[in-house]
Structure 1
Amino acid sequence: MGFADCATISHLGPYRSFVREYDPVESDLIRQFTGLVVESLYVTQDFRTATVGCQYCRDTTLVSGDAITVALSCYEDFSWEIEGVYCASHGIDAVESVMDVRAEQQAVVSAVLEASGYYPPRGNFQPDALTLGDVTVLDFSPTEAGYRT
C-alpha cells in the first residue's frame, strides 16, 4: 500500500518540536513520504477517477495538482500509514490538530497530489494513482511524546 520504513528515524531523543530546515530527520521523512501512495486503512482513493476526498469537507474531491495536508503515523515503528488527507485551506500544521499524540511516530506534512503508476498488492495496475509530491514536514511527534501525554 505504499508504506514507508520508520526505523531510520527512531534515533530521536525524548522531545517534540517542529522539524527545522536542513534537519537530517526532516530530510529522511521527506524521502520516505515522497511518492507514497495515497491509500491506507483510513484513506481510500478512487482509482477510476484518480481522486481522493478531504477528511473534513467530504464533498470536496482532490485531484492531481492539488495542495493538501496529510496526517501520518508510523505503525509499531515499522511502516508509515496515512491517517487523513485534508484540503490545504484548513490550515492544519500540527499533529495535535488532527489526532491524539500516541506512543508512535506521527507527522503532519504539506504535499501536492501527483498522478503516478501503482500496482496494488491485490489488484490491477492503476496508471493514475495519486501519490505525495513536493513534501514539506510541518510537524513531527516522536514515539516518546506519546508516553508523556
Structure 2
Amino acid sequence: MKVRRVQDADAAGRRIKSEGWDSVRLLLKNDNMGFSFHITTIYRDANLHLHYQNHLESVYCMSGRGEVETVEDGKVYPIEPGTIYILDKNDKHILRAFEEMKMACVFNPPLHGKEVHNAEGAYPLDAEEVKD
C-alpha cells in the first residue's frame, strides 16, 4: 500500500507549475496503477486551450467555478463543485476559470510526472519521470 498526502507530495517535488495552473501529482506511471491522479489548481481567469492527443482524462471539480467548452461543437458546460467532465475522445477543449478551481484529475495512460502542455495543449508521452 502507498499513502501520500498532498503536502508531502508538494514538498517532494511533485508540484508542477505552468501558465494558468499547478498540479500536485500524487500517483504516477512509476506507481504501476495504470493511471495517474493529480490535484490541480486552475488559477482565476485562466483560459486554457487544451487537446490531450495522447491521454484520456477525467476531471472532478472540488471547489471553484468555471466552464469547459468543446471546440468541435462549441458547447459550453458550467463547472462547479460536484461536476465531473470526461474527455473520452481526446476532445480539444477550452477550460476557463471564473475563480480559482481545485480539480481532481485522472489520466490514462498515466503521466510520468514532469509534463507541461506543449504548443498544441497536449502532454507528451515521454516526459521526465518523478522519482520518490
Q: What range describes the TM-score normalised by the shorter chain of this pair?
A: 0.3 to 0.5
Find the structure with the greater CA-based Rg: 1
- TM-score, scaled to structure 1: 0.31
Structure holding more helix per residue = 1
Structure holding more strand per residue = 2
- TM-score, scaled to structure 2: 0.34
